[in-house]
Amino acid sequence: MNMLRQTFLFLFFFSLLFTWSCSSDDPVDRPRTVTTNLMSIDLNDTRQEIVGFGGCNTVFRGAANFPNESDMQKAYGTGENELGLSMFRVSIPPVQSQWAAIAEVALYAQARGALVFASPWDAPSNMLDPDHDEKRILPSMYDAYVDHLNAFDAYMENQGVNLHAISIQNEPDIGEWTQWTAFEVADFTKNHADRIQNRVITAESFNFNRSYYTSILNDPVAVNNVDIVGGHIYGNGLGTFPLAEEKGKEIWMTEYLLNLDATSNWSNIDESRKWDETIDMLETIHEAMESNWNAYVWWYLKRYYSFIGEGLQGTQDGEILKRGYAFSHFSKYVRPGYTRVGLDIEENTGLLVTAYFGDGEVVVVIINPTGTAAASRIEVSGQQIKSAQSWTTSLTLDRLSKSVAVEDNAVFPGIPPSSVITVMLEL
């Protein structure tokens, strides 16, 4: 009986100690008695430069209103309750009467430091082949199509929007919009894209189908007519793209969404399921970064399953949503111009970790998709850590901020189960 009582008391006090050590009310993370992961960062091991993280303007007006200026401040501001996005994708409508509204919202983003780029869904109807059931541009109209893209670029410039780049086509290989075969895209890119008066993004395959890129990248003329390899990751497409890197092209993920395939009953879905899907989103960002991609852009930034609510499916118009806070672990702290750097992890227990360097700071983004809490020791090879701060988002936390103790030139952040944590180290 005494042995049973002693065992019970031991387990009771151990549970109290564990609860205290993991408490979200503790403003400072301190070293744990057991370190499960050693993370060593090497600033000399440089990978890709980061262009940014962002979202898309509303394309089909029936789905949601355009974000207003307050929404854009929350999305692109870098204040305490803002998301720090740095890229904004807009559409190129086929008719000029719709361009003014797009310029207005693009200016909101640009005024807050965002890189703005544009993608066409549909070509003007007079350029389409009447003999095709699908929307397809007549090859004889390719030069007219270039003129259309240049006209949009010039219009935006006259309105004060400095577009960074223009895509040849959104998803040429799926959808109800204008479609192109891989051969047609290669022909247009080689023989006409040199006349586009801006940086050129490749046609954006819906699943980064490499057949839409390889012939262009291997052609000595076509390869010089594109600046950015862009694509989407619906169902496939993630992974390294050595040929694009070899040709010196930036690689952008320009659209993705997850919404549990629930377009009518999102408000009735359990929040834990939504959070699990948000972890899935974060995993795709991690894989894109590990694949040396330079940018990651989500679909609508204002939508009930996205970053800012629009008043539908149980959201409040203009409220920052849980998915927005999660995304901001990359967008707010991994800034344009930062460089991903090498990271060695010993005894990894399922954590997904990337590290970045810029402005004298090291940013470490840690995704814990498991149901088990973890503790880590983070050090920067050959560098002194002056101070550290962390932010944690989980099912119950929205970017909770903590100071992280520096002990023996290392930091020891606690990592809750099913969470994302960003640690910033000042050197």
Region 310-337: mean pLDDT is 97
Q: Torsion over CA of 273, 262, 316 and 57, rounded to 10 degrees?
A: 110
Q: Where in the chain is the domain with CATH 3.20.20.80?
A: 51-331
Report in angstroms the alpha-carbon separations of 97 from 93, 100, 146, 157: 9, 7, 19, 16
For the record, the structure tokens of 76 come out as 């692109």
Active-site residue (options: 82, 204, 250, 255): 255
Taking Cα atoms as reference points, which of 385, 414, 376, 409 lies closest to residue 397?
A: 414
Percent of the chain with pLDDT over 70: 90
> Active site includes 246?
no
Q: Which of 171, 250, 287, 290 is catalytic?
A: 171
Residue 8 has pLDDT above 90, yes or no: no
Structural tokens at position 260? 């549990």
Give the C-alpha separation, 75 to 81, whole Å. 9
407-420: average pLDDT:
95
The reported pLDDT for the residue numbered 36 is 62
Query: Does residue 171 carry a catalytic annotation?
Result: yes
Residue type, 126: N
- Specify the DSSP class assigned to residue 81: T
**Mean per-residue pLDDT, 55-59:** 96
Give the model's confidence band at 61: pLDDT under 50 very low, under 70 low, under 90 confident, else very high: low
Return the number of other C-beta atoms located less than 10 Å from residue 95's C-beta: 9
Q: Could you tell me the two tokens for 328?
A: 């901001």
Q: How far apart are CA 344 and CA 43, in angstroms?
A: 12
pLDDT, tens digit (0-9, with 9 covering 90-100), for 150-187: 999 999 999 999 999 999 999 999 999 999 999 999 99
pLDDT one-digit tens code per residue, 182-239 = 999 999 999 999 999 999 999 999 999 999 999 999 999 999 999 999 999 999 999 9
Confidence at 37, pLDDT banded by 50, 70, 90: confident
Confidence (pLDDT) at 264:
86
Q: What is the assigned CATH class of domain 51-331?
A: alpha beta
CATH class, range 26-46+339-426: mainly beta
Q: What percent of the residues of the chain are helix, what percent strand, and what percent coil, each to the nearest 5?
A: 30, 30, 40
Measure the CA–CA gap between 307 and 273, rounded to whole angstroms.
17
In the chain, CATH 2.60.40.1180 covers 26-46+339-426
Could you read off the pLDDT of 121-141 as tens digits, one per residue? 999 999 999 999 999 999 999
Q: What is the per-residue pLDDT for 14?
A: 34
Are 394 and 54 a contacting pair, CB within 8 Å? no
